[in-house]
Structure 1
Amino acid sequence: MFLTDGGSENVNTKVSSLIKSYSDTITHRIAKRDVLFSNSMIEAFNKVLKHQFLYPRTISNRTSLENIMREVIPIYNNERPQLKLGGNTPDETFNGTPINFNQYSNGIKEQKALRIVQNKQNSCRSCL
Structure 2
Amino acid sequence: MADGLLHRVLAQVEVSFSNSMIEAFWRSPRHQWLYLHSLDSFTQLVQLIDFYVEEHNTQVPHHAFVGRTPDEIYFDQPDGVRDRLKAARVDARRARMEANRGESCRVCEPPPTQKSVSVISAVAKAPP
Given the two structures, how large is their TM-score scaled by the length of structure 1? Answer: 0.48
Given the two structures, how large is their TM-score scaled by the length of structure 2? Answer: 0.48
Relative to total residues, which structure has the larger strand share, 1 or 2? Answer: 1
